[in-house]
A and B are shown apart, each in its own frame.
Chain A
Amino acid sequence: RKEVEQDPGPFNVPEGATVAFNCTYSNSASQSFFWYRQDCRKEPKLLMSVYSSGNEDGRFTAQLNRASQYISLLIRDSKLSDSATYLCVVPGPTFGRGTSLIVHP
């Protein structure tokens, strides 16, 4: 099993939709998890940290499920500007391959 697996998408959703991404990991000792956003031809940028208790920042919610070894990212009320690739990160640090999100009018 790969250290981290992520559905590459693309997820094609209309503005205002709610979309969720999951990422599974294999190292049960993992401690620090993150979601990054990467725009085309740009470097990855930190979107949010992920905690067992959940982490919410405006329209974005990140969750960690240690028992099932996955992390999730929920985006509510999608905006055109949310179109990007979303990368999950597990300790290593190891990045997932990224999930492409396209928000259309």
Chain B
Amino acid sequence: EAGVVQSPRYKIIEKKQPVAFWCNPISGHNTLYWYRQNLGQGPELLIRYENEEAVDDSQLPKDRFSAERLKGVDSTLKIQPAELGDSAVYLCASSALRALGNGYTFGSGTRLTVV
């Protein structure tokens, strides 16, 4: 079974440029998460989807970040314009509804460097 697929793996952009990350969750997983992880820190939840509905976006900086999951499967996270402080690893995860005992499965992440 394919895991959570993310692309690109690495991205280097200049500040003020836009950037987008893509995620394909595990087939059948209704819930999709976007996390940001800075060095030496745990992943920080940005947004959680249940099917196509964003049920928790309280930590998403909405002035520059946006996300969508139009058909309840793939998702895209966008930053426009990027700032130096956005450099981090962006992780996508998915789970069956409410995860229960099976936890959350992560993709390999996108390492973003803003210069």
Contacts and interface: CB of A to CB of B under 8 A. Distances in A.
A47 to B, nearest CB: 9
B65 interface: no
B106 A45 contact: yes
Looking at chain A, what size class is its interface with the partner chain?
Answer: 20 to 34
Interface in B62-115: 91, 98-109
B100 to A, nearest CB: 6
Interface of A: 6, 8, 32, 34, 36, 42-46, 49, 87, 89, 92-98
28 contacts: A32-B98, A32-B99, A32-B101, A34-B103, A34-B104, A42-B108, A43-B106, A43-B108, A43-B109, A44-B43, A44-B91, A44-B106, A45-B106, A46-B102, A46-B104, A49-B102, A49-B103, A89-B103, A92-B45, A92-B56, A93-B45, A93-B99, A93-B104, A94-B45, A95-B43, A95-B44, A98-B40, A98-B42
